[in-house]
């Protein structure tokens, strides 16, 4: 008997194998959304990272990190 393999599903907006984010380790640029929250590269505002919900914290991912960790794109200019 054979079984079909299935791809694990993440909940909506769930990140896949993303490194943990620790607020105290983020730079001011990362906290203000001016650097990617994982690699400090150029962030893309289409990829907000909604892990930390502290006031004044806007985390964004760059395009490569968003692709690696499954950050969903959102419409900009709202």
Q: Who has greater pLDDT, 3 or 66? A: 66
Cite the DSSP H helix spans in the chain. 28-31, 63-69
pTM above 0.85, yes or no: no
Residue 35 has a pLDDT of: 97
Q: Is the pLDDT of residue 63 over 80?
A: yes
Q: What percent of the chain has pLDDT over 90?
A: 53
Instruction: Tell me if 20 is assigned to some domain.
Output: no
Which residues constitute the domain of residue 60? Answer: 30-78
Query: What's the domain count of the chain?
Result: 1
> Tens of pLDDT along 53-62?
676 788 999 9
Q: Rounded to an integer, what distance in angstroms lies between the CA atom of residue 76 and that of residue 71? A: 15
């Amino acid at each position: 008997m054979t079984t079909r393999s299935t791809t694990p599903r993440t909940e909506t907006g769930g990140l896949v194998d993303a490194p943990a984010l620790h607020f105290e380790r983020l730079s001011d640029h990362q906290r203000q959304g001016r650097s990617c929250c994982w690699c400090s590269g150029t962030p893309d505002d289409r990829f907000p990272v909604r892990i930390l919900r502290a006031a004044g914290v806007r985390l964004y991912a760059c395009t490569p990190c968003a692709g690696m960790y499954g950050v969903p794109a959102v419409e900009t200019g709202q």
